[in-house]
Structure 1
Amino acid sequence: MKNWKYFMGTAMLGSALILGACGEESAQSEGTSNTEGGEAVEGSVAGDGSSTVAPILEALVEEYSAQSDVQVTVGVSGTGGGFEKFIAGTTDFSNASRPIKDEEAAQLEEAGIDYTEFLLAYDGLTVVVNPENDWATDLTVEDLKKIWVEDGTTKKWSDINPEWPDEEIVFYSPGTDSGTFDYFNEVILEEADMVSAATLSEDDNVLVQGVQGDKNAIGFFGYAYYLANQDTIKAVSIEGVEPNNETIESGDYSPLSRPLYTYVKNSAVAENPAVYDFMKYVIENAGAMAEAVGYVTAPQEEYDADMEALEGLK
């Protein structure tokens, strides 16, 4: 199976040169990329969270580790699972493919954990089908509701359009701890129950494999996972608009365009030079790496605002 890490192998050839040059230039000109007060930064940083954000962060960790003594670990428990660890105080940052929920923010406040939200990139949640599916090439939001909302029946493609095959639909969805599930639930299902027949997984590669293996399958996940496997799965246009960098950035790919975040513990930045150093590297290079792994760079003013916020935490 081809997953995003295979895609990264080719993308990193170019991005490594770009990011490496950026890191070297930053270290030489500012003296802060891998040093603090003239001394090399050491220590550890721990993060967790969204599988959608993982391609960006894990690639940045690989690049960063090549030029730093800081040890960075990034788990992939899904957005909800990542916030649980963040609330428990076991991580320094938490990756998310949706904004933090009110109840999560309340739990952090109760735990005495102040945090800052950083925008990393934009994503287009991508609906995919098997390459043999030559009927469901363009779906409306209403079609998606009919397909994915539980109504007590065994759903067939012909239920959505009588001209489509009289065969059962096979469903693959991110798990309930995933921010991608939450986002889809909000904008497509509108908080209704998802079909009970869906196979759920926090690992997007499991979803990719499922769609690859069944002509009647349909699934959804982040845009980068589609790009990494586009030779074996097919993206569906939504309301006549296909997901690509231009439509995601412009917002034309609606309502499935969305921002990607990381949330950072303020005290970790203030008290641990390793956390500050790594987050500085992330903000400086998130845009370039987002493009390298298949997402969409945010406007530069967003990264400038992120950097200003980070500096304010020291």
Structure 2
Amino acid sequence: MKKLVCLLSLALTLAACGDKKEKKDGAALLSGTIKIDGSSTVFPITEAVAEEFRSEQPDVKVTIGVSGTGGGFNKFSKGETNISNASRPIKDKEKAICEENNINYIELEVAYDGLAVLVHPENTWVDSFTVEELKKIWEPAAQGTIMKWNQIRPEWPNEEIHLYGPGVASGTYDYFTEAVVGKSGSSRGDFTASEDDHVLVQGIAGDKFSLGFFGLAYYEENKDKLTLIGVNNGTEVVKPTLETVKNGTYSPLSRPLFIYVNSTSVKSPEVVEFVNYYLDNAGALATDVGYIPLPADLYAKQKESFKTFVEGNK
């Protein structure tokens, strides 16, 4: 009997010790699940952060969906996700749904991105576009009217333009239409659309007469299959690079990228740990996946804002 009691006591002691896992640096090992969804543009940097975070907190499961910025906000506003990736700020109608469902949140900038305008490598006639030319191609009035390359410039081929772009739920689509057409969500509808940027890469890479756009990071991953076209900003022709996006000369197609965190989620220590880890490492990881990091003081400022947000929602 004494042996049995000792064995039970030892088992309970070991179990108790097992619950108090610690990392090598002495910090507690956490567990739980963090649900993220939203922008395909923000996905690469969030996935890079999640991969590094998993090495620090292996018992925390981080799931990342890609339903577009609008799709992500739809889930976020209903409390279905902890964090929403977004390539544009939240819209008023999305804010209203959050309010209806008592979802409070904080917006955090994580990096800058440039929208890449792309053609097939065998396209030898396009050297650049003006914003006016892009508008002429993409505005709603162009549907059924602007169908061939030589309608943009007479010296270009008498061949159909085949258009590829993000779907209407994408923040990239919203940003591009606002910057180029002048109204968010306003464009012709006769183009091949996908929330998956890899599908757009394949489409443009397989079609000599293609023209498309998506986030710069996906071009960086596929530059051997595509040709990047510069845009005239009114003064000079500029291509998106880390430098031109950061210094503002790649205008108007550069923008900030965001994550949104809801107030209920910050009651979970694993979410707080993940967001702090994100803000600590986004700068270095952004460059690795083709984005432009924010200034260090802006990351620090946002980390302080997040700390205040967490303390206010305990």
Q: Distance in 1 between matches of 2:62 and 2:133?
A: 43
Is residue 206 of structure 2 the alignment partner of residue 209 of structure 1? no
Note the C-alpha offset of 1:154.
5.0
For residues 202-259 of structure 1, the C-alpha deviation after alignment (integer angstroms, 9 at most, x for no partner) is: 0000000011001110010000001111111011100001110110001110000000
Tell me what 2:239 maps to. 242
Q: Which has the higher contact order (CA 8 A, sep 6+)?
A: 1
Is residue 123 of structure 2 the alignment partner of residue 126 of structure 1? no
Tell me what 2:9 maps to. none
TM score, norm. by length of structure 2: 0.86
For residues 41-68 of structure 1, the C-alpha deviation after alignment (integer angstroms, 9 at most, x for no partner) is: 1111111000000000011111111221
Q: Distance in 1 between matches of 2:96 and 2:140?
A: 31
Between 151-160 and 241-250, the greater mean CA deviation after superposition: 151-160
Q: Distance in 1 between matches of 2:201 and 2:213?
A: 9
Unmatched runs of 5 consecutive residues or more in structure 2 = 1-22
Tell me what 1:306 maps to. 302
Between 181-190 and 119-128, the greater mean CA deviation after superposition: 181-190
The 5 A counterparts of 1:164-203 are: 164-191=156-183, 193-203=186-196
Q: Distance in 1 between matches of 2:241 and 2:34?
A: 33
Between 238-247 and 66-75, the greater mean CA deviation after superposition: 66-75
Note the C-alpha offset of 1:194.
2.1
Tell me what 1:98 maps to. 88
The 5 A counterparts of 1:23-34 are: 28=25
Output the aligned Cα RMSD: 1.4
Name which of 29, 44, 51 aligns with 1:40. Answer: 29
The 5 A counterparts of 1:1-314 are: 28=25, 35=27, 39-68=28-57, 69-151=59-141, 152-191=144-183, 193-239=186-232, 240-269=237-266, 271-312=267-308, 313-314=310-311
Contact 1:154-1:168 within 8 A present in 2 as well: no
For residues 253-299 of structure 1, the C-alpha deviation after alignment (integer angstroms, 9 at most, x for no partner) is: 00000000000012211x10010011111111011111000000001
Q: Which has the larger radius of gyration?
A: 2
Contact 2:137-2:146 within 8 A present in 1 as well: no
Note the C-alpha offset of 1:197.
2.0
For residues 100-132 of structure 1, the C-alpha deviation after alignment (integer angstroms, 9 at most, x for no partner) is: 111111211121111001110000011100011
Tell me what 2:4 maps to. none
